[in-house]
Amino acid sequence: MELFCALPATGRDPPGPIIRINPREVHIKDPDYYDDIYASSARKREKDPVLVAQFGLEGSGFSAIDQETHHQRRAPVAKFFSKRAIENQEHLIRDSLNKLVGHFQEACRAHTVVSLDAAFAALTSDVIHQYAYGFNPNNLDKEGFNAKVRDGINGLFQLAHLLYFFPILQTLMNVMPLPLLQVLKPPAFALASQKKELYEQGAAALEKANSKAGSGTLIDTLAAPSMPEHMRSAHRLMNEGFALVIGGTETTARSLALGAWHLFTREDIRNKLREELKQVMPTPDSQPTWNDLEKLPYMVCIAFLT
């Protein structure tokens, strides 16, 4: 396990695997320490409230500090991400993948350049929106794959370090008019615009739930009258939805971009993976299932490393 090692490049070996970088934080490079950090439920762990505050996601499972609160917020969401639940929705992923492949083929014929990070962010954003909210924003069909999806995520991480030290900036951005924010800080504008859209989706889900017109999507479950009343607010649904959308978009998109780079630059990896995939993809048009791909050891290894 390598969480991070924040040392200057001095040409010397680090003094040890655990380094304190500030009074509240240590960075660890020691695989034997994995179980101490990612402990079982029998050994309770709490998040650092200062670290969590920089993202401004009050009420979400991500922002829960203690284990009990995290469990309460996470429980309604967890069932949507079980293996069986994902298998039942595999067609949604396949539909978006086929669309992306079509765009790649078109770009190949036209000899045009494709921004892979924007393309993969559009792909994963379409999938998580469809799964969590029941609608597809069709970012894959928009010009430049609607690069503001990627820009909004990048904006979050560009601002995260600053917000860690000055969390008041999060409050200022939340109350600042969007047109002004667009002029002053475009990445922050992309981020705020997305949160505004999710707030409206959360409010609509609450309205549907109160009229018993929910459609059974993840957001409908979070808005259902059976949920504790303090968890049924448009603001909390916005933050929970934002955490899900960012997590469902950025992590997978980054893995795809990194994996594509290695496949492009490493012929040995590309050839070995191609040979293994022939077991479940005898033709380029074959569409193996998730279960099929999980049986390929090198494929699983590549996916895990990226």
d(CA 185, CA 155): 9
Please state, for a pLDDT cut of 90, what percent of the chain lies above it.
45
pLDDT at 114: 92
pLDDT at 305: 62
pLDDT at 306: 61
Give me the residue label for tokens 């939340």. Answer: 174
pLDDT tens for residues 250-280? 889 999 999 999 999 999 999 999 999 999 9
Please state, for a pLDDT cut of 70, what percent of the chain lies above it.
92
Quick one: pLDDT band at residue 2, thresholds 50, 70, 90? very low
Taking 50 as the threshold, does the pLDDT of residue 4 lie above it?
A: no
pLDDT tens for residues 56-95? 889 999 999 998 999 999 999 998 998 899 888 899 999 9
pLDDT tens for residues 209-236? 877 655 688 999 999 999 999 999 999 9
pTM, entire model: 0.83
Quick one: pLDDT band at residue 187, thresholds 50, 70, 90? confident
Cα separations in angstroms, 153 against 125, 164, 189, 261: 11, 17, 11, 20
Q: What is the mean pLDDT of the chain?
A: 86
Quick one: pLDDT band at residue 6, thresholds 50, 70, 90? very low
pLDDT tens for residues 157-175? 777 778 888 888 878 888 8
Best-predicted range by mean pLDDT (15-29, 208-222, 230-244)? 230-244
Residue type, 196: K
Average pLDDT over residues 172-196: 84
pLDDT at 299: 87
* Closest among 184, 187, 125 to 155, alpha carbons compared: 187
Of residues 241 and 37, more confidence is placed in 241
